[in-house]
């Protein structure tokens, strides 16, 4: 396993992080609570990840309606590796409850951290991440509350997810103005099919020495090649269970680009998904990509990706090749 510095924090994390969004559900979607991995499967996935050297686990209080954090907490208690694990959880989406049980207000953040600590069976979170910006709460209120949680020892570092470069720039400026802790990481979607981060978020993160932890590096599995144009997605797959986030990608152009990726992978003698993931983690600004295997055997291509080191020219050639056939 390869390890990289997590921005300015002094932490070192594996280049692959285990995304735990499938434990007990499929992300934060209430209609899919109970349709994710059960406790036994989740334990097997975490055991494999840990045994392979993955020391960065990412969850959220809303995943599975709290079930994901509960399962991760039970595993941590059983394995007794809390001090060696970089544990990240997110806050902001509604967990079943009242109208104030969401967002990034002072009230909700103080309430949410207690629930996360209880479910995770720990006294601190290494990285506490906002799920997305909250237009109803001033950024100053969020940052000052996060700062209070850090001074109380409940949170070590903070990060932001699903954020634009202007929003990130505003938050960093507000932290400096208020003299409170800054966001130390950014977590957005990034893949060969979703490259918006390259325009401004990745350059800003590099300039500010922030960690970058992309989610969905294979676009929900589309870049593994297991989906085919005109065919129904495999039963139980992410696209079958939760199609909405991927509808904009289900086009002939996308599948032409995937065919080009499949051909490039065959030329190199590697798995299609492994090459897609290698493209993400080979970006110099990327710290660790979050993977979400649903079965233990799904680890194989992701682990193989760590050994595929693409140069800047090779990355550009691959993305250009996919763009050319999809034009």
Question: In 3D, which of 285, 284, 239 has the Cα closest to residue 258?
Answer: 239
**Burial class (CB within 10 angstroms; exposed 0-12, middle 13-18, buried 19+) of 320:** exposed
Alpha-carbon distance of 38 to 98, in angstroms, equals 27
Q: Would you put residue 34 in left (φ > 0), alpha (ψ -120 to 50) or beta?
A: left
Alpha-carbon distance of 91 to 17, in angstroms, equals 18
Q: Is 80 helix (H, G, I), strand (E, B) or coil?
A: coil
Count of residues in the chain: 327
Q: Which of 63, 128, 183, 190 is catalytic?
A: 63
The alpha carbon of residue 17 and the mean position of all alpha carbons in its chain are separated, in whole angstroms, by 8
Query: 63 an active-site residue?
Result: yes
Q: Do the Cβ atoms of 193 and 257 come closer than 8 Å? A: yes
* Helix 139-151 / helix 106-120 crossing angle, nearest 10 deg: 40
Token duo for residue 103: 């967002």
Catalytic residues, by residue number, are 63
């Amino acid at each position: 396993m390869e390890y990289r510095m997590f921005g300015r924090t002094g932490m070192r994390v594996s280049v692959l992080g285990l995304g735990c969004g499938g434990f007990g559900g499929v992300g934060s979607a209430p209609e899919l609570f109970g349709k994710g991995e059960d406790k036994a499967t989740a334990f097997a996935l975490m055991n494999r990840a840990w045994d392979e050297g993955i020391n960065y686990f990412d969850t959220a209080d809303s995943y599975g309606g709290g079930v994901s954090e509960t399962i991760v907490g039970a595993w941590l208690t059983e394995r007794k590796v809390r001090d060696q694990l970089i544990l990240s959880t997110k806050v902001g989406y509604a967990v079943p409850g009242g109208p104030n049980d969401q967002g990034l207000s002072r009230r909700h953040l103080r309430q949410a951290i207690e629930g996360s600590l209880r479910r995770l069976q720990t006294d601190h979170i290494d990285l506490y991440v906002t799920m997305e910006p909250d237009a109803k709460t001033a950024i100053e209120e969020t940052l000052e509350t996060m700062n209070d949680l850090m001074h109380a020892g409940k949170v070590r570092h903070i990060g932001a997810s699903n954020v634009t470069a202007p929003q990130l720039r505003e938050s960093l400026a507000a932290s400096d103005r208020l003299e409170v802790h800054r966001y130390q990481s950014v977590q957005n979607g990034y893949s060969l099919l979703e490259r918006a981060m390259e325009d401004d978020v990745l350059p800003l993160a590099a300039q500010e020495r922030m960690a970058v932890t992309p989610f969905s590096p294979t676009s929900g599995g589309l870049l593994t090649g297991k989906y085919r144009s005109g065919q129904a997605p495999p039963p139980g797959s992410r696209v079958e269970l939760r199609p909405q986030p991927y509808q904009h990608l289900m086009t002939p152009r996308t599948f032409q680009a995937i065919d080009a990726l499949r051909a490039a992978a065959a030329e190199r003698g590697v798995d299609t998904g492994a090459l897609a993931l290698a493209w993400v983690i080979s970006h110099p600004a990327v710290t660790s990509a979050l993977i979400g295997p649903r079965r233990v055997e799904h680890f194989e291509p992701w682990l193989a990706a760590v050994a595929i080191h693409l140069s800047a020219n090779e990355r550009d050639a691959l993305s250009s090749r996919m763009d050319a056939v999809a034009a």
